[in-house]
A and B are shown apart, each in its own frame.
Chain A
Amino acid sequence: MELLCGEVEPVRRAVPDANLLHDDRVLQNLLTIEERYLPQCSYFKCVQKDIQPYMRRMVATWMLEVCEEQKCEEEVFPLAINYLDRFLAGVPTPKTHLQLLGAVCMFLASKLKETIPLTAEKLCIYTDNSIKPQELLEWELVVLGKLKWNLAAVTPHDFIEHILRKLPQPSEKLSLIRKHAQTFIALCATDFKFAMYPPSMIATGSVGAAICGLQQDEDVSSLTGDALVDLLAKITNTDVDCLKACQEQIEVVLLNSLQQYRQDQGDGSKSEDELDQASTPTDVRDIDL
C-alpha cells in the first residue's frame, strides 16, 4: 500500500529560491521589464469588431475553471490571459475562434510553467470537442508567431514573494495572505479593466486587499490603513493614489463575484460536490468583507 502511494505522488514543484527572492536586483529588473509584456491597446475599441468585453469574461472564466480543475500552478492562468490579451490587441478575431485561442494560451502557459503540462487532447475535451488537437497545435504556432515568441511575461505572481518578504507580518499569517492575494490576482485576470495595469500594481493591490480583508477577522498586521498602503507603494515603486484606486477596484471585483456566486447558489444549479472542487473561489468566499 505504501509503495502504491509512492507511485502516485503529486506533481513536484520547485522550492522557492532564496537567492532570487531575497535579492532586490531581481525585483528592480522585474519592475523594469514588466511593461514590455502589456497588451498594446484596449482592443475592444481599436482592434476587435466581433469580440465584446463580456465574451472575454466568458472565456476567462472558463479558462480559470479549467486551470483549477486541472490544479495548474497559480501562474498559469494569469499568464495565459496575458497571451490572450496580447494576441487580441494585434489580431482581429471572430468570436468563434475565441475559445480555441483561450485553449492555446493555456496550452502555452502550462508548458512554460509546469513540470507536467496540460495536453492538447485534454484541452480539446474541455471545449466539448468543438476543436481538434490538430487545430490547437496549428494555432499554437500562430499565437507564438504573433507574440514574437515572447512567452516569459512578467505576471503579478512574480512580485508576491518580494512584497511579502518586506512586510512586518508574523510569518504564520503569511501563507493565508499569500493565498488570498493569489485569489485576487486570478480575479483581476478575469476582468479586462486590469489588463493594461502593470503586474506589480496588481500584485501590490492584491496583497493590500488581502491584508485589509483578513484584518477584519483577526489581527494579521501591525500596520493598518495608510501606513500599509504607503509601505506597499514604496516596495514596488507605485504611486500611492494609483495603488489605492487599484485596491478599491479589486475589492469591487471581489464583491461582484461574490454576488454572482450567491446568485448561482440561489439557482441551486451547483451541487455541494462541485463547489468543493474549485479551490480558489472557495477561498474568495471565505473572505469576509
Chain B
Amino acid sequence: MEVLLRTSRAGSRGPDALGHSGAAGWKGPESLNHRHTWRSATCQPEQLYSLSTGAMSELSRDAHQIPRSSKACRCLFGPVDSEQLRQDCDALMASCVQEARERWNFDFVTETPLEGDFAWERVRGLGLPKLYLPVGPRDDLGGGKRPSPSSALLQGTSQEDHLDLSLSCTLVTRSPERPEGTPGGPGPSQGRKRRQTSMTDFYHSKRRLICSKRKP
C-alpha cells in the first residue's frame, strides 16, 4: 500500500522513467503523460522491487530512473521565459555565424566565399559521404543558395571541416598583426595550419602569472 501511494504521488512530478530504449525518443509531453498514467495505474513488479530495495545502482544508465523524492528536481531561478530564450538563442546563433564568417571569409549560410585571407575553391569528386553533398542541383560556386539548417554546425576550428563542404581553402596572405587568440575559446586561430608543429608557442605558460595573482 505504501508503495502504491508513493508511485502515484510521483505521477504529479512528471515523467521519471525515460530512456527505456533509445528508439523511443522525445515524442512530446502527451506521450510521456500517457506512459506515466499507465505506469501509475499498473505499477510494474520491477517498480515494486526498486522501490522496496532502493536498488538504483543495480540498473544500467538507460534504465536509470530519477528517484521519486529527488530533491535535485528543482527550478533554481524562477520561471523561464521561452520567448526570451528563443530570441537570445537566435541572436547568439547569428553571432556565431558572423564570427565564423569573419574568421574564414566565407558565408556559411549562402556558401559564398568572401574577400579575405583565404582563397576558396571548389573540390570535386572526393568521394564525400552523401551527408556533405549539396541537396539538389546547384549553380556554380557562389551562386548556389540552399536552405542551410546546419550553418551553425560549421564552426569547427580545423580546416578539414571545409574540405567536407567540398570546398578547399588556401591561405593567400597572412597579416602579421593579426591578434592572437580569440576570446571565449582557445584553439588554433587563422592560418595556423602551415605551422602546426609550433602551435603551442602561442600558449606560453601563464602559470607564474596566475600564481602571483592568487597569493593572498
Residues of A within 8 A of B (CB): 8-11, 32-33, 35-37, 40, 55, 58-59, 62, 65-66, 69-71, 86-87, 89-91, 94-100, 114-116, 119-122, 125-135, 138-139, 141-142, 144-150, 196-198, 237-239, 241-242, 245-246, 273-274, 277
Contact = CB atoms under 8 A, between A and B. Distances in A.
Contact of B89 (A115, A138, A241): A138
B67 A69 contact: yes
Interface residues of B, number: 65
A115 B62 CA distance: 10
B183 A125 contact: no
A116 B75 contact: no
A142 B156 contact: no
Question: Closest 5 CB pairs between A and B?
Answer: A90-B184, A145-B96, A36-B186, A148-B185, A116-B61
Nearest to A279: B57
Given A33-B200, A121-B26, A122-B66, A150 B18 contact: no
B80 A96 contact: yes
Contacts of A87: 184
Given A96-B81, A241-B211, A277-B67, 4 more contacts: A58-B77, A89-B183, A97-B80, A122-B66
B184 A146 contact: yes
A197 B185 CA distance: 16
Interface of B: 13-16, 18-19, 26, 32, 54, 56-64, 66-67, 69-82, 84-86, 88-89, 92-93, 96, 99, 152-153, 155-157, 182-187, 200, 203, 205-208, 210-211, 214-216
A273 B54 contact: yes
Given A138-B89, A145-B155, A150-B187, A121 B18 contact: yes
23 contacts: A10-B57, A35-B203, A36-B187, A36-B203, A40-B183, A40-B184, A55-B77, A69-B70, A86-B185, A94-B84, A94-B88, A96-B77, A100-B85, A127-B76, A139-B89, A142-B89, A142-B92, A142-B93, A144-B155, A146-B92, A149-B157, A242-B211, A245-B214
